[in-house]
Amino acid sequence: MSNPYISRAARLLAAPAIVALIIAFYSRWFSVNNTTVALTLLLAILGISTWWGLLEATIASLIAVVGFNYYFLPPVGTLAVQDPQNWVALIAFLVTAVTASQLSVRAKRRTQEAVERRREVEGLYALSQTLLLSGSARTASQDLVSRVVKILGVSTAAFHTRSGDETFRWGPENPLISDEQLQADREEPLIDAPKGFAIIPVRLGGQALGNLGLAGPLPSEAVLNAVAYLVAIGIERARSMEEASHAEAERKSEVLKSALLDALAHDFRTPLTSVKAAVTSLLGRERPDEDRELLTIINEEADRLNRLVAEVLEMVRIEAGKLHPEKHPHDVAEIVHSALAELEPALHDRPVEVRLQDGLPQAEVDFDFVLQVLKQLLDNALKYSPLRSPLTVSARAGEGRIVISVADRGSGIPEAEQMRVFDKFFRAREHRFRVPGTGMGLAIAKGIVEAHGGKIWVTSEPGQGSVFSFSLPVYRGEMVK
């Protein structure tokens, strides 16, 4: 497009020229009555107002009134008007010309506005399609800024996402859309039409998703708000789709882990089952003593291998986050007595003192898992304290937790090793070759306790003994005393 000022000036000169041409035509070459002249002039002025504008039409109207008076109204050749009726005609002409011009200009403006509205709606529709077809929140943001530039006809668009703390830009850099402006926490849109920039907050349901910055010729505020709303919906939709596919991937990998663990358990235990069944079958028959001794060794080692497999699987399960305790309210006394009953053969020559606080609330735990922890601690206490030395099992409640402790009168654990006894495969230096074990028992106990949201710890005085304690959640339906 050429310079708008020049074309405007040309039109301002052309409008009176057209009027002059009509007047010259009728006064010099083609004589008609005055009404025909006036109507022709009126038509020309209407055309000017429709195509060019109100100012052009108004100037043309004034020139037409003067020219018509001078060349056609008697006395012809002067600006005087003889017949007062002609004054009325002249004024009527002027009023008609100007009013009709105004009406036609207004109609033209309405049409233009309607066209603009249609374009804006088309733009918004195109934008919404773009946003709804984008795969991820990131590509949606990238598409969005380029589309906004193309569809709204602005020169620069930028979008800053709050969740990703990332800015996407399209179009030439514009200092008015600075990073600070985009990252600011704003409630209301900032629209500066004269400077040609706007920063609009993108929100959905009261939650701020980020800011959209635009520079260049701006559409109306209504359109800007609609764009911001569309962007919010598009980004949110892309984000929730991403989340859904993440969750699906996560679920699939969890299923895979579980399947792998199951396969592992099955594959290790199947040959062990044959070995164990075969050897116990042989042990069930009459055998010479030396055979019996050897078969017993096979049997015991099969058991040991099975325990090892169980421990390794449990460790893997804990580390894979696949330990899912099924928590129900249980009496701590029941857990303690079950553990003592199951270890009865090993405990028979040990005095065991059980000290349970009166009115203990129920614990919300997986009975079997916690039983396993307690048995592990009792087993350790048996292994690492002198024969026939007493053990104490105690339980007390406080601060929404129940703490169960197992105390022995063993040699204790040096301070440097106290932190490490719960590490996987850690074996105390002193006992490494003397006491059988895999170094997984306490690590598994720790995993189980932590899966219940509890803690496990040890206090020990070298030479005096050790106290292993763990905390468990109190069943919520109960009052903590």
Q: Does 269 bind other proteins (CB under 8 A)?
A: yes
What stretches of 195-325 adopt beta strand conformation (E)? 197-204, 207-215
Q: How far is the CB of 272 from other proteins (least distance, A)?
A: 5
* Cβ nearer to other proteins, comparing 178 with 306: 306
Verify binding: residue 191, other proteins, rule CB under 8 A. no
Q: Which token pair is 323? A: 């330990």
Interacting span for other proteins (CB under 8 A) from 102-110, 191-199, 260-268, 452-460: 260-268
And the tokens for 274? Answer: 């044959």
Beta bridge partners of 166: 161
Nearer to other proteins, 89 or 282 (CB): 282
The piece of 137-145, 265-273, 409-417, 434-442 that touches other proteins (CB under 8 A) is 265-273
Spatial neighbors of 124 by CB under 8 A, at least 6 apart, are: 151, 223, 226, 227, 230
Q: Which of 109, 266, 420, 476 binds other proteins (CB under 8 A)?
A: 266
Q: What's the min distance (Å) between Cβ of 278 and other proteins?
A: 5
Nearest distance in Å: CB 344, other proteins: 13
Tokens 């703490």 correspond to what residue? Answer: 403
Span from 123-131, 263-271, 378-386, 412-420 in contact with other proteins (CB under 8 A): 263-271
The number of beta carbons lying within 10 Å of the beta carbon of residue 125 is 12
**Cα separation values, 152 from 190, 215, 216, 223, 237, Å:** 17, 11, 10, 9, 22
Judged by CB under 8 A, does residue 240 bind other proteins?
Answer: no
Helix (H) or strand (E) holding 361: none
| Tokens at 356, concatenated | 């349970």
* Residue of 40, 45, 56 lying closest to 7 (CA atoms): 56
78 near other proteins (CB under 8 A): no
Of 81 and 313, the one with the shorter C-beta distance to other proteins is 313
Is 386 in contact with 410 (CB distance < 8 Å)?
Answer: yes
Nearer Cβ to other proteins, position 302 or 363?
A: 302
Measured CA to CA, the distance from residue 134 to residue 151 in angstroms comes to: 16
Cβ distance to other proteins smaller for residue 207 or 281: 281
325, two tokens: 């305790």
Of the residues 42, 89, 126, 278, which one makes contact with other proteins according to CB under 8 A: 278
Residue with Cβ nearer other proteins (266 or 481): 266
The answer to whether residue 316 forms part of the interface with other proteins (CB under 8 A) is: no
Nearest-approach distance from CB 380 to other proteins, in angstroms: 22
Q: Which stretch binds other proteins (CB under 8 A): 134-142, 178-186, 243-251, 274-282?
A: 274-282
Q: Does 302 bind other proteins (CB under 8 A)?
A: yes
Contact between 306 and other proteins per CB under 8 A: yes
Each residue of 278-288: b (16+ CB within 10 Å) or e?
ebeeeeeeeee
> Does 265 help bind other proteins (rule: CB under 8 A)?
yes
Q: Does position 275 bind other proteins by CB under 8 A?
A: yes
- Compare residues 170 and 369 and give the one whose CB is closer to other proteins: 369
Interstrand relation of 456-461 and 465-473 (parallel, antiparallel or unpaired): antiparallel
> Of the two residues 105 and 336, which places its CB atom closer to other proteins in the complex?
336
Burial of 85: CB neighbours in 10 Å, binned 0-12, 13-18, 19+: exposed
| Residue of the chain from 21, 121, 277, 333 that contacts other proteins (CB under 8 A) | 277
Q: Where are the beta strands (DSSP E) in 53-179?
A: 156-161, 166-170
Nearer to other proteins, 62 or 272 (CB): 272
333 binds other proteins (CB under 8 A): no
3-class SS of residue 87: helix
**What span, in angstroms and rounded, lies between the C-alpha atoms of 474 and 478?**
8
Nearer to other proteins, 257 or 396 (CB): 257
Q: Residue length, the chain?
A: 481
Q: What is the nearest approach in angstroms of other proteins to the Cβ of residue 257?
A: 16
Rounded to the nearest 5°, which phi and psi values hold at 39? -65, -40
Binding residues among 351-370 for other proteins as defined by CB under 8 A? 368
Cβ-contact 449, 471 below 8 angstroms: yes
Question: Going residue by residue from 279 to 298, which x/- string records binding to other proteins, judged by CB under 8 A?
Answer: -xx-xxx-------------
Residue with tokens 């233009």: 112
By CB under 8 A, residue 371 contacts other proteins: no
Residue type, 98: V
**# of chain residues touching other proteins (CB under 8 A):** 23
**Residues contacting 207, CB < 8 A, separation 6+:** none
The least CB distance from residue 227 to other proteins, in Å, is 54
Chain residues that interact with other proteins, rule: CB under 8 A: 262, 265-266, 269-278, 280-281, 283-285, 299, 302, 306, 326, 368
